[in-house]
């Protein structure tokens, strides 16, 4: 596991927490932000891409 993959795993954990916190507090923005962080983390972990590359790909979708 390289550093980008490790960072991706951490983003997934952080994104999951944000999403659950957003649901708990009825903060839809935080919930959506957490889901996006989790998605970026999964992509980063699987493919080992940098944050900038992933952000660019997600924005192009």
Closest CA to 19 of 34, 9, 8: 34
Residue entry with tokens 């891409």: 49
Instruction: Tell me the pTM.
Output: 0.61
**What SS3 string covers the chain?**
CCHHHHHHHHHHHHHHHHHHHHHHHCCHHHHHHHHHHHHHHHHHHHHCCCHHHHHHHHHHC
pLDDT the model gives residue 55: 75
Closest CA to 33 of 18, 52, 11: 18
pLDDT the model gives residue 3: 81
pLDDT the model gives residue 1: 66
The two three-digit tokens of residue 12, written as one number: 């997934």
């Amino acid at each position: 596991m390289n550093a980008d993959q490790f960072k991706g795993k951490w983003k997934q954990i952080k994104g999951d927490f944000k999403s659950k916190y957003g649901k708990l507090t009825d903060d839809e923005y935080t919930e959506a932000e957490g889901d996006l962080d989790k998605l970026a983390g999964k992509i980063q972990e699987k493919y080992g891409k940098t944050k900038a590359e992933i952000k660019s790909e997600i924005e192009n979708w």
